[in-house]
Structure 1
Amino acid sequence: MLNFSYYNPARIVFGAGTIKEVGVLASAYGKKVLFHYGGGSIKKNGVYDQVNHSLKESGLEVVELPGAVPNPRLSLVKEGIELCKKEKIDFILAVGGGSAIDSAKAIAFGAKLRDDEDIWEDYYMRNDYIIKDAIPLGVVLTIPAAGSESSTGSVITDWDKNLKRAVNSETIIPRFAVMDPETNYSLPAYQTGCGISDILAHLFERYFTTEKHNDLSDRLLESAMRNIIAYGPLALKYPSDYRYRAEIMWTGTIAHNNLLDQGRVGDWASHDIEHEISGIYALAH
């Protein structure tokens, strides 16, 4: 087992009806919130109204930034950075899946960069960056898959150059993630299946290692893989079953919050290949 240092400050607020708590959670970080989300799905399933009600009930001023899409765009990140500066945003709330969360993370630290720094060239395109500061952010997770709700990573795509790149830093770990499995009931089967595949891939990538004597993390990874194999098909067959959705959602977080890869080196070759492909084609991660 390799030496390691593990740190994860993300508070997980899990369970049915927990979205009502988001306003109180966010209010600890200021009065003005950037509400970042994707398209119309959270308006159709009621999450948009629940989040807005909770934020405003806590006396928070809300500035909206919709438009997050799969393989989140650098152009939207830059728009968000300028909006944060203009509106003097205290806190960013990402509502959705990995795309909304990853772009929110980029916006959060991008808004704190010096004028002579470029978020893409100086951070996403380099390996020697140090992210020193970021606007605090939180998450309301509606699509379990990426695990970005409590991870160090942010992946952004520059569609003008067909490049998809990542940064990793403890500075951009969300302060909290509100996770209500009932928000997953309305997910299409395809979206659910993609999420299940992504979670399983995250576990495989950590499991296969050249390091020996990692018995605890081996067993934890095997258990998480068994959980996905057991409950994935059931969540597809019974999409409104709370138990199955809850198991998938929680396993997705555990699979990618870096806990299970401590003391070992994983194999991320397939992940890197995927980044090259979806940097060119608009495919599900």
Structure 2
Amino acid sequence: MLDFDYCNPTHISFGKNKIAGLNKLVPENARVLVLFGGNSAKKTGTLDEVIMALGERDIIEFGGIEANPTYETLMQAVAVIKEEKIDFLLAVGGGSVIDGTKFVAAAALFEGEPWDILLNWGNNVIQALPFGSVLTLPATGSEMNSGSVITRKDIQSKRSFMSDHVFPKFSILDPTKTFTLPTRQVANGVVDAFVHIIEQYLTYPVNAPVQDRFSEGLLQTLVELGPQALNNPTDYDIRANLMWVATMALNGLIGRGVPHDWATHMIGHELTALYDIDHARTLAIVLPSLLDCQRESKKEKLLQYGERIWNITQGSEEQRIDEVIARTRAFFEEMGIKTRLNDYDLNYTHVEEILTKLEFHGMTALGEHQDIDIERSRHILERSL
């Protein structure tokens, strides 16, 4: 196992009717900016429930944060914060709203051009406004980590940052808030969480059986419950377990002491920025082909993954790896997510466009061994067609 430090300061309040506890979680004299996405938070009554729970505090609402939160929209929220002297933020929504709120929290107190936060991966963030979240869409784990991904529309750039200053102070996870989610969003959430785990697990062995078994248990839960969630939208136990898996997938725990990959995410980000494909769907496009191209460097963990998750024990090593990749792709398809670029009307011409963006953004040495250069990315994308 590799050496590591681990600290996660986020308070999790999990279960039914936990929104009522906001009154105890938010400072009594806070001026609160409530950030949310589209109309779903209003239509489902969640936003009204939040406002009621905040009591007599001064509250301003800021809606319209996109599914891929944009720098342009978030800077409008920063302007509101400065004008209204806001001192606490509350995100109500899924990972996109929470990611956006993290950037707003950092940008509001940042001296200089806030885009530099993204250009420097958050290493220049020295302070941020405190914030909490009410999670309505389990997928990204943003409710319990310090990472954020932001899109800038004018230059078609999607970048991420991390900072210990943007851990949520608390996050409320009420599984009943997921009952009304569209099937597409549920499927996206399952696949997003699945690939988050894979990025931290399916690399190379470092004698970390504790982390491996944690990851494998989470993967097995997603494989078992993911399809059930599509067919049983109001089953509390299914939704509760999926919500907690998505949080555990990216709250930092399973990734401590092991190498990470994240190449699937970096390539996927370009697909979203260029063609507005759902984040999870870009991951489902890229991962199977990446595993195929990286089969030699990932061989030991691919075989372990195949045996422990898919019960693949027969055949030669190459045959077993072929089946592992096929089963992974089939799981994504079972969740209703297409896994080929041509399913999204993309072809060889678009591959060149993606590669140009990868090179422009410096994504020329990806993966746990940093051996995925532009030419290897080309092979991955071409196999994804």
**What range describes the TM-score normalised by the shorter chain of this pair?**
over 0.9
- Within a 5 Å distance, the mapping from 1:22-41 to structure 2 comes to 22-27=22-27, 30-41=29-40
Higher relative contact order (CA 8 A, sep 6+): 1
Q: d(CA) in 1 for partners of 2:49 and 2:121?
A: 40
Q: d(CA) in 1 for partners of 2:122 and 2:251?
A: 22
- Within a 5 Å distance, the mapping from 1:57-206 to structure 2 comes to 57=55, 59-114=56-111, 117-120=112-115, 122-127=116-121, 129-206=123-200
- Aligned residue-pair number: 279
Would you say the 8 A contact 1:32–1:61 is kept in 2?
yes
**Is 1:255 matched up with 2:254?**
no
User: Could you list the runs of 4 or more consecutive aligned residues of structure 1 that deviate by over 3 angstroms after TM superposition?
Assistant: none
What amino acid sits opposite 2:239 in the alignment? R
Q: Secondary structure of the equivalent of 1:142? A: strand
Q: d(CA) in 2 for partners of 1:208 and 1:169?
A: 25
Structure 1 gaps of 5+ residues are none
1:48, CA displacement in angstroms?
0.9
Q: Structure 1 residues 118, 211: CA separation in 2 closer, same or farther (over 3 Å shift)? A: farther
**Is 1:269 matched up with 2:263?**
yes
Q: How high is the TM-score relative to the length of structure 1?
A: 0.96
Identity level (%):
38
Q: d(CA) in 2 for partners of 1:78 and 1:64?
A: 15
Question: Which is further off, 251-260 or 273-282?
Answer: 273-282
Q: d(CA) in 1 for partners of 2:43 and 2:122?
A: 42
Q: d(CA) in 1 for partners of 2:228 and 2:144?
A: 25
Q: d(CA) in 2 for partners of 1:144 and 1:281?
A: 24
1:23, CA displacement in angstroms?
2.6
1:184, CA displacement in angstroms?
0.3
**Is 1:4 matched up with 2:1?**
no
Structure 2 gaps of 5+ residues are 280-385
Aligned counterpart, 2:320? none
Aligned counterpart, 1:20? 20
Would you say the 8 A contact 1:144–1:252 is kept in 2?
yes
Q: How high is the TM-score relative to the length of structure 2?
A: 0.71
The structure with more radius of gyration? 2
What amino acid sits opposite 2:69 in the alignment? P
1:24, CA displacement in angstroms?
2.0
What amino acid sits opposite 1:54 in the alignment? A
Q: d(CA) in 2 for partners of 1:281 and 1:93?
A: 30
Deviations 1:133-163 (CA, angstroms, capped at 9, x unpaired) = 0000100000000110011101110011000
